[in-house]
Chains A and B, each alone.
Chain A
Amino acid sequence: MGSSELEQPAPLGGVRVVAVGAFVAGNVCPLVLAELGADVVKVESLRRPEALRSYYSPDHAPIVEPSGVRTTAMFSCLTRSVRSVCIEVDQPGGSDTLRSLVESADILIENMGPGVIERWGCSYEDLTVRNPRLVMVSISGYGRTGPRGDYRAYGSSIANYLGLATVWAPDPVHFDFVAAYHGAVAAIAAHERTKQTGAGTYVDLSQVEAGTAVMAPVYLDALVNGRPWSFEHNEVPGAVLSTVVQCAGHDAWAAVELEDLDDLRTLAHLLARPEFAVSIIGDARARAAEVCDALREWAAQRTPMQVSVVLQQAGLAAAPVQNTEDLWRDPQLRTRNAFVEVDHPDVGLLEQPQSPDRMSMTPGHVRGRSRRLGEDTLDVLEEWLGMASTDAEVLRAVGAIYQVSDKVP
């Protein structure tokens, strides 16, 4: 984000992205592009700050920026590497400023409710009059067409609608992330085509369709053979055995999967129960149940890490069921420097996950702390639109834009 960044090659260096979005999907998609070097501007409103800023967090007391607007650790994590521009679209000159900004951008990412972006004069048709090269990625729960195309949705809506809730859990954010990653793929792919052809693309990306793709393993038997998913929790189709065993320690567990009969024999020998390995072909499932009982007894005397490493040394698939703290201490993540400290004037110094987008020459990485609301408004209007400071002052005076007055390094 600073000028030093410009000197290093970045895969999306020079690509301008406007993000008009909220919650998880609307922030994570631009974040992925920003940490690959795109210049991403998040358009916010002081009058209607997005919900992620004021979301109740059980992990910290309310945090307030000098402007009076709230923020959260989660917001600072999901909007790092991105600049904040404050535009009030319902004030005179506000929607024109937003439109000018998008007209000078390569990519627009939005996940507003049905009809909102159109009311602001920023439909794809409006925007491409002056920017035919624009790539617009519209992320929504159900897509912008179809019988449920005008539905409002959050991650939990989609987890319930797609059936993940009944086979697992009504996860509140999972499909936001799934859609955000697919949105990043679509945005870069469309941008690449624009470089080839000069023409833009409108992408109607739905959490339902992105979710359908990653849910395919649960759907395939029903789709092709009419057989609904009927597996117990932690049962893996085709595995000889998949189980979560209780280990020594508080709420301590390890996951073990035996993929074939060789694995079953290996485990039987490891548990010093070679009798299970004899004539194993007969009824593998019955044998697996017996071996599983022996495994439980054995695992109860050991910690999840002891269980996992001993089984791994024997060549079996096993892993500790890690909780939040285990993950924070995780030797694999620590060794690979998967964390980064980010300081924020209001949130404080916080350890966050570093970008997992490892590239040997141009690794994705945190490009800067999350910004206070409207911290970069004047800079961006000048850099992107060449707006004179006198014109910006006029917009500021009528309340069409907002710029934080205190500059913080």
Chain B
Amino acid sequence: MSPVNTRARTLTKYPGTNNSTSLPTQGVVGVVRLGAVGEAVLNIVAANLQEILRLPVDILPPRQSPEFAYNERRKQYHAALILKNLAESLRPHPRILGLVSVDLFIPVLTHVFGEAQMGGRAAVVSLHRLKQKEEGSRVSLDTFYERVVKVALHEVAHTFDLVHCNQAECIMRISSGPSDLDELPLFFCEYCEAFLAEAYRRYDIQSLPL
């Protein structure tokens, strides 16, 4: 595994997580794919969450696409319904992250890249809008993986009560589009790092040693 807690962090492409097939579920974060989501992106997200959040991550058995959340009028999937379902149906991980390939929305917004329960258990990331540039052409696989990891980190951090950050160099900075997402670093600023550590203590969560 590459060195942890470095500012010049790059994407970890080699999973070092607890795979459900080899280890029992003992991690803090359970990552689950819902529907047509590739195994590679799942592994990369899990590995990077484990490394950057310093939390043990488990990969959970795949689930079906969340058709229950489909909204006929919007032709999109209601993110809040997926979060509710993840939080209620998957135990015992303190935090659950779902990966979906469908387009997500919340009632007040046209779309979201991801959504999370503030201080809750569940977060979800949609790969749907992360594969393309604004003008429609596809981005490289590396850029795609990096975007997914950034949204995943950002959303899971919300479940630890972290709010959007004004620091330019922070994963919690609000991004106003996919290309803006590319500008974000793959780490938390020192303030958000401190808030995260404080949240682990508050939620009685043991982080991995540095």
Q: Tell whether A pairs with B.
A: no
Residues in chain A within 8 A of chain B (CB atoms): none
Residues in chain B within 8 A of chain A (CB atoms): none
